[in-house]
Amino acid sequence: MSQLLEIKDLTAGVEEKELLHSVSLTVGAGETHVLMGPNGAGKSTLGSVIMGSPEYAVSGGRLFFDGEDITDDSADKRAKRGIFLSFQNPVEIAGVTLSEFLRNALEQVTGKHLKLWDFKKKLRSCMEILGMDASYADRDLNVGFSGGEKKKAEILQLLVLEPKLAILDETDSGLDVDAVKTVSAGIDEYKKRTGGSLIVITHNTKILEALRVDKTHILAAGQIVAEGGAELVDEVITNGFEKYIKGGK
């Protein structure tokens, strides 16, 4: 399978503090990867570095996407290339409706102007998949949304933008069972529609239920300490991270 994302010996951090130490990870086109690890392992940092967040500086290694070196690309350019990152804590934006936000994001990413009617049609069909009431489209982004509604808005963004690679950072945290099911179905629909790749950061199996996991990576103290298939998710949930932390690499 051709490689979509290739991370080679990536070292990154903030100012004098190195947070990721020589991380290598490869995601093939259409693959679903799970990234697990204890709190503070560097999972969110890795997601941000792949997205090109200016918060972190890369001090070693390279990142390739679609065969091109993106190490020095801005986050904006990476989004245009088809990389998407959902945030652990979605932002609230007063004065911008969910619909306006998504239309703008889509135009930014594609560089094309979209007719309002066409966009609304697309938006409506995506909202239906997630069981979101149509009225949410006209509400200010995430303002007054419940935790579950914010997470659904993130998956809605995924369905509308159709990135090549989606990194979902604990999208399932704080969701009730039914909401996780809906979110999982939404992710599955994204995969079916686009054949896109996923990196799912999670502590639970529920969100993975509708998905076929190709590979699991365990990150501890900024290093990849174990890799395996789908079975590694269950193993970790049953036995915890202890042996990976103590054993190291």
Contact set with ligand ADP (CB under 6 A): 14, 19, 37, 39-45, 55
Structure-block tokens of residue 152: 């659904």
C-alpha to C-alpha distance for 28 and 129, rounded to whole angstroms:
26
Is 45 or 182 the residue whose CB approaches ligand ADP more closely? 45
Task: Write phi, then psi, for 135 (nearest 5 degrees).
Answer: -65, -20
Q: Taking a C-beta distance cutoff of 8 angstroms, is the pair 35, 168 a contact?
A: no
CA dihedral of 241, 244, 247, 249, whole degrees rounded to 10: -160
Q: Does residue 157 belong to the site contacting Mg ion (CB under 5 A)?
A: no
End-to-end CA distance of the chain, in Å?
Answer: 27
> Least Å distance between CB 19 and ligand ADP?
4
> Least Å distance between CB 85 and Mg ion?
12
Q: Which does 174 bind (CB under 5 to 8 A by kind): Mg ion, ligand ADP, none?
A: none
Q: How far is CA 43 from the centre of its chain?
A: 11
> Least Å distance between CB 70 and ligand ADP?
20
Q: Which does 186 bind (CB under 5 to 8 A by kind): Mg ion, ligand ADP, none?
A: none
Q: Which does 37 bind (CB under 5 to 8 A by kind): Mg ion, ligand ADP, none?
A: ligand ADP
Burial environment of residue 2 by CB neighbours within 10 A (0 to 12, 13 to 18, 19 or more): exposed
Please tell me the number of Cα atoms within 13 Å of 190 on its side-chain side. 32
Is 42 or 82 the residue whose CB approaches ligand ADP more closely? 42
> Least Å distance between CB 173 and ligand ADP?
11
Question: Mask of contacts with Mg ion, 165-204, x by CB under 5 A?
Answer: ----------------------------------------
CA-wise closest residue to 14 among 51, 52, 47, 45? 45
Is 3 or 173 the residue whose CB approaches ligand ADP more closely? 173
Q: Which does 55 bind (CB under 5 to 8 A by kind): ligand ADP, Mg ion, none?
A: ligand ADP
Restricted to residues 43-102, the positions that interact with Mg ion (CB under 5 A) are 43-44
> Least Å distance between CB 110 and ligand ADP?
30
Q: Which stretch binds Mg ion (CB under 5 A): 38-46, 120-128, 204-212, 216-224?
A: 38-46
Structure-block tokens of residue 168: 């979902």
C-alpha to C-alpha distance for 158 and 145, rounded to whole angstroms:
18
Residue 169, Cβ neighbours under 10 Å: how many?
22
**Interacting residues of 115 by C-beta distance below 8 A, sequence separation 6+:** none
> Least Å distance between CB 43 and ligand ADP?
3
The residue ranges that bind Mg ion (CB under 5 A) are: 43-44
